[in-house]
Amino acid sequence: MEDSYEVKRSRGLMTATDREMISERSSNDSRRNQSVSRIRWRIEEVETDVEILEENHPELLEELREVVCQDS
């Protein structure tokens, strides 16, 4: 990941530490599991965010859907 990315953007569902823990098999499985747990909690919170966007800013909701639902 290029350095300027970290400066220009904050995080999405994962922090930089979460990304590191998920991306590599760390010797510290406990920290990796903690990251997985935090990410799962954030995914659950997206439902509330979607409801707020749907009601107050449908254009942003559409942008979110385009990113999340794009074909891989």
CB neighbours of 26 closer than 8 A, spacing ≥ 6? 20, 32
61, 49, 10: which is closest to 19 by C-alpha? Answer: 10
Tens-digit pLDDT profile for residues 26-49: 668 888 899 999 999 999 999 999
DSSP 5-35: HHHH---SSS-HHHHHHHHS--S-HHHHHHH
Residue 1: per-residue pLDDT: 46
CA 33 to CA 58: how far, in whole Å?
A: 34
Output the pTM of the full model: 0.70
